[in-house]
Amino acid sequence: DTGVSQNPRHKITKRGQNVTFRCDPISEHNRLYWYRQTLGQGPEFLTYFQNEAQLEKSRLLSDRFSAERPKGSFSTLEIQRTEQGDSAMYLCASSSRALKEETQYFGPGTRLLVL
Amino acid sequence: AQKVTQAQTEISVVEKEDVTLDCVYETRDTTYYLFWYKQPPSGELVFLIRRNSFDEQNEISGRYSWNFQKSTSSFNFTITASQVVDSAVYFCALRGDTGRRALTFGSGTRLQVQP
């Protein structure tokens, strides 16, 4: 049983460029979450999918951010026109709806640095 | 609104000492779930425990134990006979039961165990 995987693990980009991250959840999990974590802080929720439907979005998810989960399996998070304030760790998690008391399991994260 | 407070920013102990990490939460939900995660230097959040609001039994797992007290809205985590491998940032998190799936995290406590 493989865990949540994320690619790339690290990304350095210049301000104004677009970046895309990928998350592959645990295979039997139908719920997928994106969080952002800045240095010295706890993760902050960005968005959540159940299968392919995006059911919840945080106010942190500005117009420059878009997330998709087209076939209800892997998900992508795109940031357009990156800004230095976007520098953070982007964490993906997945869970199974089968359990009401579900636990979110996290991937290793993608660390983004915007120069 | 939900809130999790981890007042201890950083704790340093010597190996074999016992250490308690504090977590205080706020929620208006009558049913909710509390979690502890460990984040080692590699960055991946590792799930440790989940506790339901209607189950106030304390739990022990090896050197780890958790004390849930609804009366004081606290969910504290104790490591007995700490080891160097316990060095990490520990996060307490909360999720309500009103349809929102997002976890609300505290700011974390960095634990350093010196040999």
Reply yes or no: is the peptide bond before residue A8 cis, omega within 30 of 0. Answer: yes
Q: Does residue A111 have a pLDDT over 90?
A: yes
B19's tokens: 């250490």
User: What chain A residue is nearest to B9 in terms of C-alpha separation?
Assistant: A40
Mutation for A interface: B44, B46, B94, most A CBs within 10 A: B44
Nearest CA to CA, how far is B11 from chain A (Å)?
A: 14
What is the token pair recorded at B74? 């606290």
Cβ separation of B43 and A89 shorter than 8 Å?
yes
Rounded-to-5 percentages of helix, strand, coil across chain A:
5, 50, 50
Instruction: Pull the structure tokens for residue A23.
Output: 């998350």
In the block, tokens 């997330």 appear at A67
Chain A: give the shortest CA distance to residue B70, in Å.
Answer: 18
Q: Kindly give the confidence (pLDDT) of every residue in chain B, 115 residues in length, as a single tens digit, with 9 standing for 90 and above.
A: 899 999 999 999 999 999 999 999 999 998 999 999 999 988 899 999 999 898 877 888 899 999 999 999 999 999 999 999 999 999 999 998 777 789 999 999 999 999 9
